[in-house]
Structure 1
């Protein structure tokens, strides 16, 4: 609901003086009018400050749009992994799965999977203390070999590339087996403690390059600690990891992982099978034309939305007759009237702004440039059917000739993708830099939410106006006080004159 219209006074001491007793003059009303005239200069400063604040906020709104655009734009269109360039066909998905990059070519025939890559593991015997079998609340200080205060257990742990890496686990004697197990889980190991035993499994699969177990004590002292944890007990187990072994296109290979990269395909081995036990599993790929067309449509929509929002911002109508409201004007209006007035007063705060216009111009210019691929080849957007609209009022929006785009994707899907993903010269890289540079320029002028006013141009102007407004408020208090003294002196003079006239009239 709209608020009630309230009165406003320019007086600093309204209601605290009794006036006009001798003269009969409405002194307060006269001082009010005089102060209204005196306050005009300060009100102009307050209005200018409001204009700067609106301009600052409009700039920051643009920066929010640009920052969101450049981050989302890169995440969605700057990475090759986000482009559905290939659709993979696998003849038996129960035994393998596969994906294809844009460089995938030819077909693969998986003829056997003799073994899968597995992780090496150590399983302890029962961990004992002087009190019996340990449980999860047992303190390390109660286990033979562990210090009662603090110490370090250093293990050599298998890595994905087959090498071993030293990992140190600091402990305190007050740590429980439960909390110590949690520490082990942070060094490339999956540790489990249950039923008085501990299991350590390397996160990496396969065999170490130099042989041996996937998890090894680093020194005699560490071996003593491992003995305390039951890994030297008679019923302890050392389970060695295994490499994957498989035959693809007639060549038998092995690897430490079940995930393989071959000819642009990423193959994940899932289940063993012997040669000739089943038909070879075929892996082929075809261009995902529909997926790529949809990706291009998403690109066009995101770009067009940004262009529209920026053009709308710098194209807002400017209503010169609608200035920021003064407090006095607000007091005579309802909330609804204030809202409607300020919508027009704010409009056009950065109309035709050069920073935003330059950004739009730079973004549009990237659409016409050919992207260099670094191998002597290059291609531009218009060559694959993505062009700017012919209507000037559209402000440089993009549109797609789907037939031409599909033809380009059929002939050379990799080049289509490179137009967007090529480092430095690609459309996304160029637009990202333009957006980032514009954000930086706007921040120099309008700052950001966390900025201190004296660190950006508009902030310095706002600080200057704030100081001037404060000076004017002090000056107006002095002017008002002078008026009251003058009228008070007049009242005193009239009172004395009336007194004398009364005396002579007797």
Structure 2
């Protein structure tokens, strides 16, 4: 190991300072290379910043090639209190009539007063004859679910239990203590909206829907008009099938955490036949939710966990059997795991093994909206619907028809064109600024030593000038602007005789004429002006011609003469974006994939090699000073020895 001397030597030479000065001179070629690299990186970043704007403009130009942009319609209702209306591009212009005969309604029902006026009241206090646990099946447009209802449940507990299944059923329940009534409502409107309640009755046939929930319905449970007294009935005995396996931790219990393959549980009932998949992560609650939200659940059948945490199935129609099977062909016994492998009991109402259960029943459905559009009657499940490209929301019924007026939306089309032109002007202003930016030749990127000697604000000012003018008169950008200007000024070939063929004919040009005042010149390098009145008039009077000037496409790949302005500019922006990307890359580009990146990669290699040479040179300098010091020490020692001998 060579001992490197530093600091002051015996000869009085400051070795570190001397080596530093020698290395400063030696580093000059590398510093110049680093400066060249920095300039190239700044130039690359400038290109990429412009490319981002080009990409945004290309997106705007592409939007303007779509005919829908120029076909905006404006609709109005003669009476907004009856209905509101908006239009799409496909709405036909003209005047139409709409009469609202019926509004779509949800399924909803309000109970009679319970006589308790408190959420804390127990159900047995509402009906003292309610003494044994029973079940309540809640059906709606989403499916069916069954809950256990206890005499000791409070009103609040019952409401929470029903609402806990609303994601499966589509039915919600509420109770207002001030009004002292229950409220049921479906989540949707129209013919599919439904509230179907079936509650187990007392053995004496006592109707719990009537005595506990205080619901009233007609003899057949048909929807009736509001404020009409209702009555409910007791339906035939239904079937409740209960499994044999106790899922000890309730609905969160995994059916089988050791399953290695997905199993399929098959059910058939009420003409429905479905498979439900069970994996090692499936809980009994998830299986129940699958069943209840499926077509089997929507048919009125529901699965649930009974009081003993055994899976049970409730089907109010005793005449239609429920059958289960294992649809997976292997040795695994899925039905044993679920506790439903035993033979299904007979469905004979008189069978001692399955005597059935009485259910009190209540059902009400929503109502469809009914309208007359230009005299034609139509029904809808919601109060918002579409007719001939018009989106209509009805609010109340009307005794007579109300007019709808559809017209061309001149302002929306005008604003789309203006926004597009603004984006174009913003882009060319950015490019013009960069290509005409002053170049400060005396301001080069700072070296590390120069940066250390300057303050932050001085560095900022210096680098702002060093970065200036890196794209001045850039041929790639100036040729791109030239292509843009030509695209704007050239006529569109192939349009019908008599149609506008240039943008200047509809009020878009490089000159803005207002009365006797004219603004805009070649010095602005292609900035576009809009004559608002002239363009709006063109949109209103000849909308198809305006649209064609932007969207025309002649299908010829090698020429854009028959293409509209937006299509031309979209193509030109795409070409310029690709050219810049080829030269400067994009944010995630690797250096070897673009031209400037390859140059930077080569520069980095040369800088690294130079660094190795400088380190070797610095070591050599120190070694030379060390050798010199050793030699001088030897000479000093010899001199001292001679002096002593001559003494």
TM over 0.5: yes
CA distance in 2, matches of 1:375, 1:255: 44
The residue number in structure 2 matching 1:100 is 87
Contact 1:386 1:399 in 2 (8 A): yes
Q: Does 1:307 align with 2:431?
A: no
The residue number in structure 2 matching 1:204 is none
Task: Give CA deviations for 1:233-285 in whole Å, capped at 9, x if unaligned.
Answer: 977899999987654334556788863443xx414263685xxx733221113
CA distance in 2, matches of 1:153, 1:433: 57
SS in 1 for 2:86: strand
CA distance in 2, matches of 1:427, 1:167: 57
Which segment drifts farther, 172-181 or 355-364?
Answer: 172-181
Provide the aligned length of Structure 1 versus Structure 2.
439
Task: Give CA deviations for 1:56-104 in whole Å, capped at 9, x if unaligned.
Answer: 21111112222233335545x4555556843322123344433334563
SS in 2 for 1:305: helix
**Could you say if the C-alpha distance between residues 339 and 429 of structure 1 is closer, same or farther in structure 2, counting changes exceeding 3 Å?**
same
CA distance in 2, matches of 1:35, 1:326: 14
The 5-angstrom pairing of residues 26-175 of structure 1 reads 26-72=14-60, 74=62, 77-79=64-66, 85-101=72-88, 104-111=92-99, 113=101, 118-120=190-192, 125=198, 130=242, 138=251, 150-151=263-264, 170=277, 174-175=282-283
Q: Does 1:486 align with 2:624?
A: yes
Which segment drifts farther, 496-505 or 299-308?
Answer: 496-505
CA distance in 2, matches of 1:375, 1:220: 71
CA distance in 1, matches of 2:581, 2:291: 44
Contact 2:69 2:416 in 1 (8 A): no
Contact 1:169 1:184 in 2 (8 A): no
CA distance in 2, matches of 1:179, 1:308: 63
Offset at 1:53?
Answer: 1.3
- Equivalent of 1:427 in 530, 542, 565: 565
The residue number in structure 2 matching 1:17 is 6
**Could you say if the C-alpha distance between residues 405 and 149 of structure 1 is closer, same or farther in structure 2, counting changes exceeding 3 Å?**
closer
Contact 2:61 2:567 in 1 (8 A): no
Mind listing any 5+ residue stretches in structure 1 that lack a counterpart? 1-12, 143-147, 156-165, 198-218
SS in 1 for 2:479: helix
CA distance in 2, matches of 1:53, 1:191: 69
Contact 1:59 1:446 in 2 (8 A): yes
**Could you say if the C-alpha distance between residues 19 and 154 of structure 1 is closer, same or farther in structure 2, counting changes exceeding 3 Å?**
farther
**RMSD, matched Cα:** 4.8
The 5-angstrom pairing of residues 449-468 of structure 1 reads 449-468=587-606
CA distance in 1, matches of 2:431, 2:36: 24
Which has the larger Rg?
2
The residue number in structure 2 matching 1:497 is 635
CA distance in 2, matches of 1:291, 1:427: 19
Q: Does 1:392 align with 2:525?
A: no
Which segment drifts farther, 417-426 or 236-245?
Answer: 236-245
Task: Give CA deviations for 1:327-376 in whole Å, capped at 9, x if unaligned.
Answer: 11112111111111111111122222233223322222222244579878
The 5-angstrom pairing of residues 352-431 of structure 1 reads 352-371=473-492, 379-389=501-511, 390-421=520-551, 425-431=563-569
Task: Give CA deviations for 1:138-164 in whole Å, capped at 9, x if unaligned.
Answer: 47999xxxxx97437899xxxxxxxxx
Offset at 1:484?
Answer: 2.4
**Could you say if the C-alpha distance between residues 416 and 325 of structure 1 is closer, same or farther in structure 2, counting changes exceeding 3 Å?**
same
**Could you say if the C-alpha distance between residues 288 and 167 of structure 1 is closer, same or farther in structure 2, counting changes exceeding 3 Å?**
farther
Task: Give CA deviations for 1:427-478 in whole Å, capped at 9, x if unaligned.
Answer: 3333333333333322222222222222222222111111111111111122
**Could you say if the C-alpha distance between residues 131 and 405 of structure 1 is closer, same or farther in structure 2, counting changes exceeding 3 Å?**
same
CA distance in 2, matches of 1:85, 1:431: 22
By percentage of residues, which structure has more helix? 1
Contact 1:121 1:238 in 2 (8 A): no
The residue number in structure 2 matching 1:296 is 417
CA distance in 1, matches of 2:457, 2:81: 66
Contact 1:59 1:442 in 2 (8 A): yes
SS in 2 for 1:17: coil
SS in 1 for 2:97: strand
Offset at 1:298?
Answer: 2.4
SS in 2 for 1:89: strand
Task: Give CA deviations for 1:301-326 in whole Å, capped at 9, x if unaligned.
Answer: 22211211122122222111111111
Q: TM-score normalized by structure 2?
A: 0.57
Q: TM-score normalized by structure 1?
A: 0.70
CA distance in 2, matches of 1:152, 1:71: 51
Which segment drifts farther, 100-109 or 30-39?
Answer: 100-109
